[in-house]
Amino acid sequence: MQGILLQLIVSGIAMGFVYALVAVEYTLIWNACGLLNFSHEKIIMLGGYVFVGTCITALGMSNIMSAILTIILLGIFGALIAVIIFIPLRNQTRLIAVVATVMLGQILNEAAVLVWGPVALMPKNFLSGVFTFMGATVAKSYVYIIIVAVIIIALLELFFKKTKPGKGMTCVSINKTASALMGINVKVSIVITLILSFMICGVLGIITAPIFTVKQQMATMIALKGFCAGVIGGFGSLPAAIAGGLVLGIVENIAGVVLPAVFKDAVAFALMILFMLFSPKGLVGVRDHVRNLQENRKQKKGKVNI
Amino acid sequence: MLQVDNIVTYYGNACALHGVSFRIEENEIVSIIGANGAGKSTLMKSIMGVVRPRSGAITYQGENITNLPTHKIVGKGIVYVPEGRDVFATVSVQDNLEMGAYSRKFSQKELNGLYEEMYTMFPRLKERRKQMAGTLSGGEQQMLAIARGLMSKPEIIMFDEPSLGLAPIIVDEVFDRIKYINQELGISVVLVEQNAYMALTASNRCYVMENGKITKEGKSSDLISDDSIKEAYLGM
């Protein structure tokens, strides 16, 4: 029993980090240009196909080299999409950019079949096998997902808190005009954001390839649930996105045991709707609410003393 | 030093500036006064490239800067401290200052020197340097916005309504610093104000704007005794 619980928690945390990375990846773009990247699901898919289909199978590269090349290629693709779609459309009506990103997703989806064929691809000897400890059997891929995600989140934190371009991007997300008035080049900042976001998508495509296999719909669920994670955490904040992802991953996995298994996927969406109804600001809203309650209590105590 | 020739600026189909000309020379304080909606801020935003004039030219030290992107104009040494401060609320005071120097490649040592300079000018900011800028009072935020503007060592600094929403005693302090910036640091200052009396007493020359046009200009000492100005802006 203890083993199963541990197993559930580890895989829950791993999936939580996957959702968190998805939430981080689109929150970055939302903060930089106020647009949602509706093609992100297909960018993750692209990462998977480039990794397995092109680098490993066609070019015969090693797993590590393939992963590195995939991430670099996705970064270049991100810069390209920034110049073609996000920069020209950022000041247009939102709908135009929405349609543009949806269409980008469709193009990638169909292109994937043409280039890599309709059969699902599976990386061989990549993050396969299991760890066994304390009576729990945990797939290695889950453990690697946790490690990779923690490294990425730590690097992002360093980038945004310690480097000048990172701090500049934080300011762009707060106020674009004021940032431009500081001499920050907002367009360059959008390009950097897209590169980062697409690289994270690439990583997601790689690390989820052994779990979902590489196919057109491989990222549909995690992209949607990543969106739920953002809403549950509190839209537009990176730490909130990570918290939302973890909460969602663990709750969903435990619910999979308590409830009939078919309801597992519904839990994420039910949770999101509950948050939208009762705490539209997400966990951040809950935290603020608790803080207000505490302060009210303090003030009341103060009055009694007077 | 900075010359604006006959610029026309639109917001969509609404004309906000109908051919405005304006200049500032080295080491001057020039004020622009006028009622709400007269086009004072639009003039500033046109100079900074935040909004683009449809016609006319903006020249800075002999170079046409009319169509440069905002961040390049900042790099040339023109800084605008916007109305309503616009400090980065969830970023610490010191990081706000660092962002002010974004257009310059300063070493860490030079940056630290600049921080110290700002903290000597605005001691209250030093106490609060690790606090988030959003937790500061209105007056402190104005001081931070001014200090942030100075961080890039500009040649011209333009203040938009620096007295807006501040207590009278803080307003005096702000104007004190603005005079100091001009006299001691040798930076040219453009001062956009609704508070006409403060603006006229602080500046060398003044422009009066009405409905997107400049209706009067001259030495501030002359304008302050001009009857129509007295009646319309000083309430005397």
- A2-47 per-position pLDDT tens digit: 778 888 888 899 999 999 999 999 999 988 888 889 999 999 999 9
> d(Cα A86, Cα A194) in Å, to the nearest integer?
9
Where is average pLDDT lowest: A184-188, A301-305, B134-138, B143-147?
A: A301-305
B74 contacts in A (CB within 8 Å)?
Answer: 180-183
Tell me phi and psi for residue A112, to 5 degrees: -60, -40
B124 vs A60: CA distance, rounded Å: 63
- Quote the CA–CA distance of B97 and B129 in Å, as a whole number: 9
Which ranges of chain B does DSSP label H, i.e. alpha helix?
A: 40-48, 70-76, 93-100, 108-121, 123-127, 138-150, 168-183, 196-202, 220-223, 227-229
pLDDT tens for A76-94 read 999 999 999 999 988 888 8
Is B100 part of the contact surface with chain A (CB cutoff 8 Å)? yes
How many of the other CB atoms lie within 10 Å of CB of B75?
16
How far does A21 lie from chain B, in Å, by closest CA? Answer: 23
Q: How many CB pairs under 8 A join A and B?
A: 61
**CA-based nearest residue to A132, from A143, A147, A123:** A143
Three-state DSSP class for A117?
coil
Which runs of E-coded beta strand occur in A173-270?
A: none
- Positive/negative CA dihedral, B98, B100, B103, B107: negative
Which listed CATH number (1.20.1090.10, 1.10.3720.10, 3.30.70.2740, 3.40.50.300) goes with B2-234? 3.40.50.300
Q: What angle separates helix A140-162 from helix A2-33, to the nearest 10 degrees?
A: 30
Mutate to test the interface with B, among A31, A171, A181, A189 (most CBs of B within 10 A): A181
Q: Which residues pair with B175 in a beta bridge?
A: none
Question: Under an 8 A CB cutoff, do A174 and B71 touch?
Answer: no
Percent of chain B with pLDDT over 90: 80
- What CATH number has the domain bearing residue A244? 1.10.3470
Per the CB < 8 Å rule, is B86 touching A177?
yes
Number of domains forming the structure of chain A: 1
**In whole angstroms, what is the distance from residue A221 CA to residue A200 CA?**
17
A50 pLDDT more than 60? yes
Over range A254-277, report the average pLDDT.
88
- When scoring B50, B79, B88 by the number of chain A Cβ atoms within 10 A, the one with the most, hence best to mutate, is B88
Give the chain B residue whose CA is nearest to the CA of A186.
Answer: B71
Quick one: pLDDT band at residue A124, thresholds 50, 70, 90? confident
% pLDDT > 90, chain A: 62
CA dist B81 and B145 (Å) reads: 6
Q: What is the DSSP letter of B19?
A: E
B6 versus B231: which is more confidently predicted? B6
Q: ipTM score here?
A: 0.90
Q: What is the mean pLDDT of residues A106-129?
A: 91
- What does the pLDDT look like over B31-73, one tens digit per residue? 999 988 899 999 999 999 999 999 999 999 999 999 999 999 9
DSSP state of B137: -
Q: Find the chain A residues whose C-beta atoms sit closer than 8 A to any C-beta of B.
A: 164, 167-168, 170-171, 174-175, 177-186
Domain positions in chain B: 2-234
How many Å is the Cα radius of gyration of chain A? 21
Neighboring chain B residues of A168 at a CB cutoff of 8 Å:
99, 102
Instruction: Tell me which chain B residues have a C-beta less than 8 angstroms from the C-beta of A186.
Output: 71
Contact A16, A250 (CB under 8 A): yes
Domain that holds residue A281: 2-305
Residues 104-163 in B contacting A (C-alpha not used; CB under 8 Å)? 104, 148, 152
Say which amino acid occupies B228.
S
